[in-house]
Chain A
Amino acid sequence: MKKVLMGNEAVAYSLFINGVNVAVGYPGTPSTEVIETLKDFQDDDFYVEWSTNEKVALEVAAGASLAGARTVAAMKQVGLNVAADPLLSLSVVGVEGGLIVFVADDPGPHSSQTEQDTRNFARFCNLPVFDPSSPKEAFELIKPAFEISEKYKLPVLFRMTTRVCHSNQSVEFELKREKRKIKGFRKKPEWVILPALSYKKHMELEQKLQDMKKELSVYNKVEGKGKIGIVTGGVSYFYVKEAIKGFEDLFSILKITVAHPLDEELILEFVKDKEILIFIEELDPVLEEEVKLLLFENGRIISTYGKRNGYVPFAGELDVDKVKGIFYKVLSDKRFLMKNTFTDVLQIPKRQAQLCAGCPHRNSFLIVKYATKGQDVIFTGDIGCYTLGFAKPISTTDTCLCMGASITMAQGLKITDGSKKVIAFIGDSTFFHSGITGLVNSYYNRHNITICILDNLTTGMTGFQPHPGTGKKIYGEEGRKVSIESIVKGIGVEKVLVIDPYSDFTQNVDKVREFLNNDQLGVIVFRRECANLKSREGYFKINQNCLKCKVCLNVTGCPAIDEDENGNIFIDSVLCKGCGLCKNFCPYYAIEKVMENE
């Protein structure tokens, strides 16, 4: 059949077709759809789950692999940092059944804290890494990735970038699953990593990388015969192809699909008759550095252009126009310049990202903000929808670092700036991901901070995945529900308050103000289902009492409230979720509820 598949979907289809037995991951843009798609497949030898975090996921995958199963652990690039601990050890210990670590990198970045490059991680942990250019190619490379993993008994990194993960392409395939027999776990001394064994295994690992080079190099390719050599990989390959359209004779392309280990022979053969080399790659100059090193080692002197000498930007993603610009700069020749099409381009103001209309987090943030009015407070934030708590007019997030860090950074701030109140915000899924250990630390070390767990009963930002707090498993079937309050109390925290952020605003403010009165460790759970998961009972509208004071708009920043070209305030009846938060701030009783059927 022929189907339009998103890059991540293509990976999922191919994983299933190629007999993956265990698929685990933690959601994170741009990687989420791999597990989301896999969950739609079912078979008696296939298991899929959302794990609590990426380290957990990879360790579950490793266990299954030791029993001979084909496995995948899926995550985004910052998730790989969390899973780095097991991954580096796993490269030494090795695997049994094919294990693919799927990692989505995010040049740009579009929705990440970092622009890190997983190809560098592959160099760091001595593992092979595939770097497909398109959904179609990703689909085709899963099979060899499993085969290499099984042949060399090593995990294989499968790295894609946002524009491959989240682009769509027509792919032709037969939906027929390869069935494999799982041997089951066999005890072997080598599964227990001890220092002496680690040394021996490291030598083996280096040898394996040498051995697999030639085999992996068949996935790289050379195109064209021109004297200007372009070394590229990933989605940049297509940017290059489009940028040289009409001038193909001048160029030749070395497309690197396996970025580590690199096949030296192929590269030396490619550079033989080249006058200059241009490196077109996103994120880190991985190919550039490897190739330059090789040129030096082989006594070759050739002009190179890339990130290292400022021709290619280090930050941000590339596109056809940027690549054309690079070629133009290198070749100093106008023939690559685009005709300028638009002269009087309007500057359209940016749309600032906002919490959704009716988002219960907006209420929670404002409750805490009003309860601490006039006080010197630091608000630490975390990763999720609620990172948007930093946006005006909410402005209740002063820091954001990585998953779980709101709780721990708050402790560091409290130690050094103790006169201030420090309040940490964290979401439910993030609390389970890596908030718990931080909470244990604050209890153990007597850090007197307040932790607000914004529990919207889902993983909102990545598309409503379940987590331990929902008690639902990946298919919505019953797992066991982990109660946030029980964890908090079980650790020993005595001050715990549960609040429905939709309930009476003033009362909630009073409750929180009282709760914050004495400076000791406390946890407030704000619990209300994500507004996008619940159908509304009604919505609000502005009536004739409105004096256009804009308080509703300026305090809440709710996307459903807006001002038209004549300065009239209105509430978008389609967008409004009926939470009624705005009503609390209207001095003129000009906001009234409309029931759904009126």
Chain B
Amino acid sequence: MIRVGALLAAGVSLAGLAFAQVGSYSAVTNARLAAPEASNWLTTRGNQMNWGYSALDKITPANVAKLSPVWAYSTGQTEGHEAAPIVNNGVMFVSAPMNKLFALDATTGNLLWKYERELPDDITSCCDVVNRGVAVFGDMVYMGTLDAHLLAFNAKTGKIVWDRTIEDYKKRYTITSAPLMANGHLVTGVHGGEYGVRGFLEAMDPKTGKSLWKSYTTMKGSYPDGSEAQGGAPTWLTGAYDAGSKTIYWGTGNPSPWMDPRRKPTDDLKWSSSLIAVDADSGKIKQGFQYSPNDAWDYDGVNEPILIDTMANGKSVPSVVTAHRNGYLYRFDRSGGGVKYLNAEKYVTVTAYKGLDKNGRPIWDPQHRPDVGKQVNSCPSFLGGKNWHPAAYSPQTKLMYIPSNEWCMTIKGAQTKYAAGEAYVGAEFELNAVPNLNYVGNLQAVDPATGKKVWSQTFKAPLWGGVLTTAGGLVFTGTTADRDFIAFDAKSGKKLWSFKTNSGVIGQPISYSVNGKQYVAVFSGYGGAIPLWAGPMAQLTKDTPRGGVLWVFAVN
């Protein structure tokens, strides 16, 4: 329950502007994060294992037709709204583009406090000025910023408790995703692979912001001499935490630049385009798997690792499953905090590789591998079979729900030179459709162990929003061109309900309950990478109106 305090005195600055405060607030602990209550949504994907699953079951296929809006909140921003709200006992925290942050009463939508960052004028980001959510721990809320700071707010008042500069935004380091709490450490990644940053993970004391460890993701010796310093491998999507082995599983992005004539085919460029297993206490990279060694396609490996148990050789094995940019759904054994390749199956059209070898290493097809001055066509496009927008896993159906896209690209390497703050891509490209296919977006229900497709729903335009699945037997996601927020039957894929929102839905839906009433919330507010990068394919969403609104639904 929330008790709204009195309005603060006038005269507060734009940054940290506060209207009211939270009367009572439940401190977030390691134990609560490890086993979150069904009523709450304490991390961007609902748990530290990135399931995107709500254990609430009041909204079902039988009553979802009655789902209707109970409140909405407009952010005033017209860029991409990709955040997942966080809900802790009736208090919601939701971030918006340009590092706005709102604390809202989760039952009424009333504003408790808000923060609007005064960002420098010369902020540059590759893929829109998005923020994908915040983290909560103790009585604080944590947000990474486009000028590469990490901020800690008092959850009750919105007052900034500490502000750490993580890196130099003038070198185009940005932070767009939520930090991860891992064994009491606050861990953040960084964005900037199109500008020649050097990727890293940094852990901090959540109380003070003091740095505990910092681990770089580019390795000397795996890059041509010296180029690891601008070698990319950014860590721009939130990882997962395995409390059992105290291991952080985190993905890394493309090497910078995309192509480089200094590279030999034997240069793997570790740990770009990889999944790394990191010791939560020391930051040591214990083990890794490289999806795309010496990547030339911009096939980032950042997509969310989902920690589940799967059957392998007749035994239940702790696993990581992840739908990767290169069009393969991967499965790894994570026993003992490691990352051992088990298998991978195509989930979209793939021409970039001939296949994968027994260790999961791609077998290049020279006809589809670009190089400096060499033009090829490859599928999927660099925007991936799936991009940042997270899949969901249901322990009920044992299925993974992947918001995939079918598209290809013409791509050619180009000479480029590093200059701090400037784009460092080294490629020219244009997206195009998969021949003889009349859709791009495809929401798929897949067995994560075998890759077997159980059902799919296709959409003419690309999907760019996250997926939620619930114990009520539902799957929720949104569309870009049609502006719909849709509920499907988790078992059959049948479309059961939809609501026409104000804009394209590229947020991450969540579910929570207050006083026994279940709610579903999602951001509608088109933007993100498609309008910036998809070229002719962006025409599919050219008429999608802009403007961010958080929609909250319930069955009344």
A binds B: no
Residues of chain B touching chain A, judged by Cβ–Cβ distance below 8 Å, are none
